[in-house]
Amino acid sequence: MGKINITNLTILLLFQVVLFFSCRSAPNGFEVKLLPEDVHSSVAYGTLLIDSKVNQTLIGVKCDGFERVEWHESKIDENQIMRMIQIPYPIHLVADRKYSFQPGGSHLMLFGRTRKLIEGENLRITFSFSDLSKKESYARVVK
Instruction: State how many domains the chain has.
Output: 1
77-90 mean pLDDT: 93
Cβ atoms of 100 and 114 within 8 Å: the answer is no
Question: Would you state the pLDDT for residue 4?
Answer: 60
Question: Would you state the pLDDT for residue 103?
Answer: 93
Residue 46 pLDDT > 90, yes or no? yes
In a domain, 111, yes or no: yes
In a domain, 13, yes or no: yes
What domain range is 53 assigned to?
Answer: 6-142
In a domain, 1, yes or no: no
Q: Closest Cα partner for 85 from 97, 96, 71?
A: 71
Question: Would you state the pLDDT for residue 29?
Answer: 85
Q: Closest Cα partner for 62 from 141, 116, 109, 125?
A: 125
Residue 27 pLDDT > 90, yes or no? no
CA pair distance 104, 112, nearest whole angstrom: 22
Residue 40 pLDDT > 60, yes or no? yes
In a domain, 104, yes or no: yes
In a domain, 130, yes or no: yes
In a domain, 65, yes or no: yes
Question: Would you state the pLDDT for residue 116?
Answer: 95
Question: Would you state the pLDDT for residue 16?
Answer: 59
Give me Rg for the CA atoms of the chain.
15
Q: Closest Cα partner for 39 from 117, 103, 107, 106?
A: 117
In total, the chain counts a number of residues equal to: 143
Question: Would you state the pLDDT for residue 12?
Answer: 58
Predicted TM-score of the model (pTM): 0.78
Q: What is the CATH number of the domain that holds 52?
A: 2.60.40.1890
pLDDT mean across residues, the chain: 87
In a domain, 119, yes or no: yes
Cβ atoms of 143 and 79 within 8 Å: the answer is no
